[in-house]
Amino acid sequence: MSRTLNAQPGQALAEWRAHWPVVLAACAGVAISTLNSYSLGVFMQPLQTAFGWSRAAIASGQTIAGVATVLMAPLVGGLIDRFGPRRIGIPGAIMLCLLTALLSTSGPSIRSWQGLWVLLALINVTILPNVWTAAVTSRFFAGRGLALAVTLCGSGLGSIITPVLAVRLIDALGWRHAYVAMAGLWGVVVIPVLVLFFMGARDQKNYVPVQSPGGKALASAFEILLTGRFLRLALATVLIASVIVPLAVTLVPILSSRGLTRGEAARIASLMGVASIFGRLTIGYLLDRVNARVLASIAVCIPIVSCLMLIFNGGSHAAAIAAVLATGLSLGAELDIVAYLTSRYISLAHFGLAFGALAGLITLGGAGLGPLALGSTFDHFNSYVPALWVAIPMCMGASLLFLTLGAYPADAAMKSRGA
């Protein structure tokens, strides 16, 4: 692997000294944005018991959010590029907490659940990773890989805290009050941090916009989103997101279907967060030193290990732990690499738009269609195994697509520190 962009330790250290509060706040934003994704698997059984809803019907809430994200994320990304991430992310986080609490009013009709998810869908597009990473990419160049990794460790923190917290709150308060308590606890911790520290370059009054590569403004969004390189990046992203994210958010019911109790499954699944943090920090360190497309092609094959362990030995604690750790490592690498590749192949002047489109695809495949497909597979076969077999060639396809991206653009404008 060639050292195409060498890290500059002195510059990177200066960036960290100046802007570490932005990374802290962005990490908190990513963490709260995963609130409903990582709690849905835990709430499935109580909702099914209370109302008789199928798992596919329950998962349809995230499908609604996924479709809305694909349609709206590029638009929101354009707003980030114009107005800055602060004006988008903070109101979105507040509304997320309020609407999560309102999920406690669902039932007995599935329409009430789906109606609330329509509202959540409109809010989810304002708290996608492109919001939080836009602030970080605008502050870091030499240390961007590690800064993005630390930021996106927020999803690992969410996967550690949320499933176990949801189980305990449901057991203590029932599922309705658990939704209210969970939203309140996350809001009290995260919102003040965002208000105090979340500030990207575009949020400053003296910000001067960055020129696109070569100093030429792109005529339209289609010039960004319809290039061959971006389309390959997008297809690779949606393939791997359709494997990793559904696998991560459905681990508790998958492990439960293999013979573990819900409590055992939740405790083992919480290890995924530790593994994802380790994976993210390791990948972030490497991204500043080696070619990201090569790292990507390797990292997206790790879920194959998880699938095989769950298929053949999912009933044992050791196999379950191995599958969870492998899932966490790949989850830690996936989004970081996509964000980094976007910031290197697309002008930072259009990072919000480009990564917004990719975030929409991640949400559609990962949080929308993927869980729905897994739920439908279980409803039809009473097993998740057929879906796990399908995931293996999807990982291989994503790996090959990342390898086709080629070298980073050589234009000096890509090194601009504005975003």
SS (H, E, C) the chain: CCCCCCCCHHHHHHHHHHHHHHHHHHHHHHHHHCHHHHHHHHHHHHHHHHHCCCHHHHHHHHHHHHHHHHHHHHHHHHHHHHHCCHHHHHHHHHHHHHHHHHHHHCCCCHHHHHHHHHHHHHHHCCCCHHHHHHHHHCCCCCCHHHHHHHHHHHHHHHHHHHHHHHHHHHHHHCHHHHHHHHHHHHHHHHHHHHHHHCCCHHHCCCCCCCCCHHHCCCCCHHHHHCCHHHHHHHHHHHHHHHHHHHHHHCHHHHHHHCCCCHHHHHHHHCHHHHHHHHHHHHHHHHHCCCCHHHHHHHHCCHHHHHHHHHHHHCCCHHHHHHHHHHHHHHHHHHHHHHHHHHHHHCCHHHHHHHHHHHHHHHHHHHHHHHHHHHHHHHHHHCCCHHHHHHHHHHHHHHHHHHHCCCCCCCCHHHHCCCC
pLDDT given for residue 315 in this prediction:
65
Superfamily of domain 14-405: MFS general substrate transporter like domains (1.20.1250.20)
pLDDT given for residue 161 in this prediction:
87
Domain boundaries, the chain: 14-405
pLDDT given for residue 99 in this prediction:
95
pLDDT truncated to tens, each residue of the chain (419 aa)? 334 444 455 787 888 889 999 999 999 999 999 898 888 888 988 999 999 998 888 888 877 877 777 788 888 888 888 888 999 999 999 999 999 999 999 989 999 999 999 999 899 889 988 899 989 988 888 888 889 989 988 877 887 788 889 999 999 999 999 999 999 999 999 999 999 999 988 777 655 554 444 334 444 555 777 778 889 999 998 898 888 888 887 888 888 887 777 777 878 887 887 887 888 888 888 888 888 888 889 888 999 988 888 888 756 788 888 888 888 888 777 778 888 888 888 877 778 888 888 877 777 777 667 777 887 888 888 888 898 899 999 999 999 999 998 877 753 344 444 43
pLDDT given for residue 214 in this prediction:
39
pLDDT given for residue 397 in this prediction:
94
Taking the whole predicted model, whether its pTM rises above 0.75 is answered as: no
pLDDT given for residue 213 in this prediction:
40
